[in-house]
Structure 1
Amino acid sequence: MAVFLPLFFFPLIFHHLPISFSSSSVHELLKAKGLPAGLLPKEVKSYSLDENGHLQVFLDGPCLTKFENRVYFESVVRANLSYGELMGVVGLSQEELFIWLPVRDIMVSDPSSGLILFDIGVVHKQLSLSLFEVPPSCKPQGFMSYRERKDHGFGAQR
């Protein structure tokens, strides 16, 4: 026996499901929300955004990149997205003075200032928006170039 639902039930059923999108549009979403596209790496596979602004970004795996300092992205990055803000960020850490600190919030309150604010718990850090114009490449977690190994005292041993 087939059950038929009136059409007005479908929006109610699907209203609470997150919508998934391809990776090519997550950077456009950030720009539309007053944030720079380069806050997320090129290697984003997909993302979902629900009606409450809960954003989930899925990467191929954990990876490292660099803005002003080194930044670590987990496989999934979560945040609440509103205009000019990523609040309650989970899955993103930034290296400060050889210590990895979680990024909690990212805000662009006045785009004309050319600044973006990172709340990393113990400090609020203002950076130039120009650092985030282009999505960076993100290397797998254990990847470190020869130059970085050498600079950190991991030169070739004989």
Structure 2
Amino acid sequence: MALTLLSTTLYLVLTLSPSLLSSASQETNFLDQKPTAYEILGDYNFPKGLLPKGVVGYSLDITTGRFSAFLNGSCSFSLEGSYQLRYKSSVSGYISKGKLSRLEGVSVKVFFMWVDIIEVLRNGDDLEFSVGIAGAGFPIDNFEECPQCGCGLKCGGDKRKVSKIRSNPFVSSS
């Protein structure tokens, strides 16, 4: 009788263990999933469209705010047919609620030269971009969607436009 009870218990443990371990493993994987770089932007009160589609990874030191986002390669596109943006394969800086500072890896073409965007501030429903001595502001709604390398927001017939709130952005100091 004891042998039968022992063998039945052993049989149940051996047949149920893999399914129990499998479901426990799935729960652990679900809980351990790292948020995306786009979700991290949202955690700091920024829209996901500050980064182009195709971010393959990122790092974030939550104690210092130091972050890096990684693309498959460099990326460039135009918005409105006039703003040309360029992202290096690695974009880095410091992030805090409503502020991206000491940015590296993102530039905008102003007249005939490329200048680095060094800071982005959230000011209510606007984002203010600084290139140092000059800046420009845009409604946050313009950044709800992520631009795509090569075609920006006008990919596949999408006619969405980015609206300006200043007539001469990046020309005079704010």
TM norm structure 1: 0.68
Q: Secondary structure at 1:121's aligned position in 2?
A: coil
Q: 3-state SS of the aligned residue for 1:108?
A: strand
In 1, Cα distance between equivalents of 2:37 and 2:133: 29
- Corresponding residue for residue 95 of structure 2: 81
Partners of 1:44 and 1:60 within 8 A in 2: yes
The answer to which structure has the higher strand fraction is: 1
- Quote the residue 1:33 is aligned against: 44
Pick one of 117, 121, 130 that aligns with 2:141: 130
Q: 1:27 to 1:82 in 2, by over 3 A?
A: same
Which of the residues 120, 138, 143 maps onto 1:106?
A: 120
The answer to whether the Cα contact below 8 Å between 1:27 and 1:40 also exists between their aligned partners in 2 is yes
2:67 alignment counterpart:
55
What percentage of aligned pairs have identical amino acids? 29
Q: 2:55 aligns with which of 44, 47, 51?
A: 44
1:7 maps to none
Q: CA deviation at 1:82?
A: 0.3
Q: Note the residue ranges of structure 2 that are not aligned, 5 or more in a row.
A: 1-32, 152-174
SS across alignment from 1:30:
helix
Q: Which AA in structure 1 matches 2:118?
A: R
Q: C-alpha separation between the residues in 2 aligned to 1:67 and 1:124? A: 17
Structure of greater relative contact order (alpha carbons < 8 Å, 6+ residues apart) = 1
Measured in 2, the distance between the counterparts of 1:67 and 1:53 equals: 29
**Deviation larger for 44-53 or 131-140:** 131-140
- After TM superposition, give the deviation of residue 99 of structure 1 in Å: 1.8
- Of the structure 1 ranges 117-126 and 66-75, higher mean CA displacement relative to structure 2 is found in 66-75
How many residues are aligned here?
116
Cα offset, 1:121, TM superposition: 1.7
**1:136 Cα deviation (Å)?**
0.9
Q: Quick one: distance in 2 between partners of 1:86 and 1:108?
A: 9
TM-score for the superposition, normalised by structure 2:
0.62
Which stretch of structure 1 is more off in the superposition, 117-126 or 62-71?
A: 62-71
* Residue 108 of structure 2 corresponds to residue 97 of structure 1: no
Segment of structure 1 superposing worse, 90-99 or 63-72: 63-72
Task: Judging by fraction of residues, say which structure has more helix.
Answer: 2
- Name which of 98, 111, 128 aligns with 1:117: 128
TM-aligned CA deviation for residue 97 of structure 1: 1.6
Three-state SS of the structure 2 residue aligned to 1:131 is helix
Any gaps of 5 or more consecutive residues in structure 1? 1-20, 141-158
**Offset from partner CA, 1:77-127 (integer Å, 9 cap, x none):** 0010000111000010011222211000001032xxx21100012311111
